[in-house]
């Protein structure tokens, strides 16, 4: 994919660079490399020789999905009504054991398409068959932090052997990580309850050595840490902190059941959290302490989790649920403003997944941009700049996304994905999902 210098002009532009600023009308200048050269109010925009494209509606940074298992489009909605432990052992793992060549690529291709159409330009993925996952995102034109998952039942037997998961991750990072590109590679131990603590230590050391994010599930359910606590006499985050696991760039998925001390440890170590409200509610896992986390100074992004426990990859729902749950569970309507929530879905999410060069319209950031159609009742009336942000967060949604650019290249136009055949992708996933569900 290639880009060319251009200026986009719209009725409104939101920057998130670093604050949520609204410019009506506004402009975005994109350079030849697909990066943002500048943005702001049109009235004070500098002269440009680049081609200008004027459009109605709102332009803003693409959303960032901070925790996902995209290939699970193959398992959409399975095991509804089961607890997390039963959901994994009875619904998910038996199907994943049947995954074959091409399945992960097919699942991720549909997931990436679904996200781009919804205005989600980047995601952090934890799964397997990582080359297939990266190939799929490369085909759609999306952006991804691929964090190869390490699961005890699958990888422990030969983890350290030649060709084992440890070597696979190192080789994948060497071959596929693009420090300045769309495809990047991290490390993902599933959790401290699934893997022996020395293995988590080694994977954390590998992430620090590779200078990439460590992506790990932490405190998703109320009882998942009981074995760790029984063995070590301390809560999971305390154990991880003492062993140095939190010393690098760590992204903790969920963080629902954190103590006050664990919240403070996350803040002290600069640990990022991916808040996944819809998945957590659907599995009955609880509601994360979002206000306490942000008040303590923890950077929080928003994630959908996999569609097996969410049913879709529509980050707009997380964007709405995050502030609503924070307010509803506390009785305090001032908790988590619309502007805070919007930053979580954009710049904060990008920082959480180790891609701080997206998620905003700051100069030098990748021009990952989406257009929102404002010509409908959900955005009427708009009087003030605050109205724009409020409507976007509490009345907006994927259905209002019309266009998506990644690195300055338009990949969605007028609601149509330009890079891959979405109907063919759906048909492929349907056929493969039927195979995975057979004889279960």
CATH of the domain at 24: 2.30.40.10
Same domain? 28 vs 92: no
Lowest mean per-residue pLDDT among 26-30, 79-83, 113-117, 136-140 = 79-83
Q: What's the domain count of the chain? A: 2
Q: Which two tokens stand for residue 45?
A: 């925009």
What value does the mean pLDDT take over residues 82-101? 90
Same domain? 77 vs 188: yes
Report if residue 418 sits inside a domain.
Answer: no
What value does the mean pLDDT take over residues 202-223? 97
Q: Does 10 score more than 60 pLDDT?
A: yes
Residues 170/162, Cβ–Cβ less than 8 Å: no
What value does the mean pLDDT take over residues 269-275? 98
Same domain? 116 vs 250: yes
Report if residue 419 sits inside a domain.
Answer: no
User: Confidence class of residue 106 from pLDDT cuts 50, 70 and 90?
Assistant: very high
User: Confidence class of residue 84 from pLDDT cuts 50, 70 and 90?
Assistant: confident
Nearest to 140 by CA among 115, 173, 176, 177: 115
Instruction: Give 143-193 pLDDT, tens digit per residue.
Output: 999 999 999 989 999 999 999 999 999 999 999 999 999 999 999 999 999
Report if residue 250 sits inside a domain.
Answer: yes
For residue 3, the model assigns a pLDDT of 77
Q: Does 402 score more than 60 pLDDT?
A: yes
Report if residue 79 sits inside a domain.
Answer: yes
* Domain enclosing residue 246, as ranges: 63-352
- 4 conformational bin, left if phi > 0, alpha if psi -120 to 50, beta if neither: beta
Same domain? 67 vs 57: no
For residue 87, the model assigns a pLDDT of 87
Report if residue 357 sits inside a domain.
Answer: no
Report if residue 285 sits inside a domain.
Answer: yes
Same domain? 402 vs 338: no
Report if residue 432 sits inside a domain.
Answer: no
What value does the mean pLDDT take over residues 241-261? 98
Residue 40: φ, ψ to 5°:
155, -165
Residue 287: φ, ψ to 5°:
-125, 125
For residue 1, the model assigns a pLDDT of 56
Nearest to 434 by CA among 66, 65, 103: 103
Domain end call among 287, 320, 352: 352
What value does the mean pLDDT take over residues 424-436? 97
For residue 439, the model assigns a pLDDT of 77
Instruction: Give 317-331 pLDDT, tens digit per residue.
Output: 999 999 999 999 999
Same domain? 213 vs 305: yes
User: Confidence class of residue 4 from pLDDT cuts 50, 70 and 90?
Assistant: confident
Report if residue 428 sits inside a domain.
Answer: no
Same domain? 20 vs 126: no
Instruction: Give 22-54 pLDDT, tens digit per residue.
Output: 999 999 999 999 999 999 999 999 999 999 999
Same domain? 194 vs 332: yes
Same domain? 332 vs 384: no
Same domain? 246 vs 150: yes
Same domain? 207 vs 337: yes
Tell me how many degrees the CA angle 273-279-282 measures, rounded to the nearest 5.
145
Within 10 A of 438 (CB to CB), how many other CB atoms are there?
9
For residue 83, the model assigns a pLDDT of 85
Same domain? 159 vs 131: yes
User: Confidence class of residue 382 from pLDDT cuts 50, 70 and 90?
Assistant: very high
Q: Round to whole Å and give the CA distance between 14 and 36.
A: 13
Q: Does 436 score more than 60 pLDDT?
A: yes
**3-state class of 216 per DSSP?**
strand
Percent of the chain whose predicted confidence (pLDDT) is above 70: 99
Look over the chain and give the mean of its residue pLDDT values, rounded to a whole number: 96
CATH of the domain at 135: 3.20.20.140
């Amino acid at each position: 994919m290639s880009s060319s210098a251009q200026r986009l002009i719209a009725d409104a532009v939101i920057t998130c660079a670093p604050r949520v600023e609204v410019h009506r009308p506004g402009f975005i200048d994109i350079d030849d490399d697909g990066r943002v050269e500048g943005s702001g109010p049109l009235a004070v925009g500098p002269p440009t020789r680049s081609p200008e494209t004027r459009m109605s509606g709102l332009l803003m940074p693409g959303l960032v999905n901070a925790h996902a298992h995209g290939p699970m489009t193959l398992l959409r909605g399975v095991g509804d009504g089961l607890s997390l432990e039963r959901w994994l052992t009875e619904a998910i793992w038996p199907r994943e054991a049947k995954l074959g060549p091409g399945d992960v690529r097919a699942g991720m291709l549909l997931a990436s398409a679904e996200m781009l159409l919804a205005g989600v330009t980047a995601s952090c993925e934890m799964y397997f068959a990582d080359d297939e996952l990266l190939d799929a995102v490369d085909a759609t034109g999306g952006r991804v932090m691929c964090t190869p998952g390490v699961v005890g039942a699958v990888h422990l037997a030969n983890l350290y052997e030649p060709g084992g998961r440890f070597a696979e991750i190192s080789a994948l990072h060497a071959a596929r990580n693009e420090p300045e590109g769309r495809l990047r590679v991290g490390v993902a131990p599933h959790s401290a309850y699934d893997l022996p603590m020395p293995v988590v230590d080694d994977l954390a050391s590998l992430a620090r050595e590779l200078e990439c994010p460590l992506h790990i599930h932490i405190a998703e359910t109320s009882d998942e840490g009981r074995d760790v606590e029984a063995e070590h006499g301390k809560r999971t985050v305390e154990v991880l902190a003492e062993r140095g696991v939190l010393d690098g760039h760590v992204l903790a998925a969920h963080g629902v059941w954190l103590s006050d001390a664990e919240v403070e440890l996350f803040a002290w170590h600069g640990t990022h959290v991916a808040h996944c409200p819809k998945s957590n509610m659907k599995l009955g896992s609880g509601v994360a302490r979002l206000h306490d986390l942000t008040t303590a100074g923890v950077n929080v992004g928003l994630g959908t989790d996999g569609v097996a426990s969410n049913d879709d990859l529509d980050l707009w729902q997380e964007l709405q649920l995050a502030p609503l749950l924070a307010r509803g569970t506390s009785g305090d309507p001032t908790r988590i403003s619309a502007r805070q929530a919007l930053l979580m879905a954009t710049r904060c999410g990008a920082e959480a997944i180790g891609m701080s060069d997206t998620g905003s319209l700051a100069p030098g950031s990748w021009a990952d941009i989406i257009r929102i159609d404002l010509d409908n009742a959900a955005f009427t009336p708009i009087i003030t700049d605050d109205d724009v942000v409020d409507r976007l967060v509490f009345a907006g949604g994927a259905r209002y996304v019309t266009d998506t650019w990644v690195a300055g290249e338009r990949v969605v136009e007028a609601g149509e994905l330009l890079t891959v055949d979405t109907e063919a992708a759906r048909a492929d996933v349907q056929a493969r999902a039927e195979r995975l569900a057979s004889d279960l």
